[in-house]
Amino acid sequence: MTFVRSRLRIAALAATAALAFPLGAAVHWTDGASAAGQLGPSAAAASSAISSADATRRSRARVPNTLGIREAAIKQRLYETYAGDCNTGEQLYKPLPDPSAQTFSKKGFTVSYPQYSIGYGACGEMSAYVPYRLSGKAKDSRGKLQRGYYILRNGEPYCLPDGNCGFMCVAAKGRVVRILGGVTGDFGYIGVRRGKAMRAITLGSGAGQVKRLTFAKKSMTAKPDIFDKHWKRVSRAEYAEDFSGAEC
């Protein structure tokens, strides 16, 4: 049945979106330089390992992967930077490998990947600049995780016997919002909400784009205005009756 396949896709999409960056990634910072070159070979190697681990912790603290937003933002910017070439279209649906370097500035960060790790060999080292307005910062993730559940009821084809035609789950942590759902296919959005608007990165079958969403209600788990009155907010228990595998 369409809904069974869609629930499986949404579950996989949620799992992929929530992947955090590995702890072993090398990170370069604009606000400091390594002193490893002034030490002996063994001491330099040890210092480099400590510096890398410390820089990675600082990186995750500065731009956390809350609900998968950091990884989604990097994938989108790689896709846009290379116009979908160099395998960046396929990479939208795969976990990212370890970056070779990350450089942070006041308004965003640049992330780089070694040759062959993402794209074709001819593409060489690949990098992209990610603005904080897209990825968010640590302060945007503060707060408890909340979820809102919605069911589409309008008698369209592909509905279940009880009249439920689609599902949507809205998760919010601080200002970071992720929306996953499905009707005849899956859809998804993730972004940092500012008031009643959000620059949303598209997920699922339409991944790689950025779309402006607006919200009529202040609630962080409110549905975007693009979803009409036929989308009804329901309790988690009612949602789970048909869509238990479609969490966000």
> What pLDDT score does 55 carry?
54
Provide DSSP, 35-59. -GGGS-HHHHHHHHHHHHHHHHHHH
> What pLDDT score does 3 carry?
44
Per-residue pLDDT tens digits of the chain, which is 248 residues long: 444 444 444 444 554 444 333 323 333 333 333 333 333 445 444 444 445 455 556 666 789 999 999 999 999 999 999 988 998 999 999 999 989 999 999 999 999 999 999 988 999 999 999 999 999 999 999 999 999 999 998 766 557 776 678 999 999 999 999 999 998 778 999 999 999 999 999 998 788 999 999 999 999 999 999 999 989 999 999 999 888 878 88
Domain segments of the chain as ranges: 2-12+140-243, 20-135
> What pLDDT score does 196 carry?
96
- Gap between the Cα atoms of 105 and 30, Å rounded: 7
> What pLDDT score does 165 carry?
84
> What pLDDT score does 60 carry?
64
3-state DSSP percent of the chain in helix, strand and coil, to 5: 30, 25, 40
C-alpha distances out from residue 72 to 46, 169, 246, Å:
33, 18, 19
Pick from 131, 120, 248: which is nearest to 180 by CA?
248
> What pLDDT score does 25 carry?
37
> What pLDDT score does 57 carry?
61
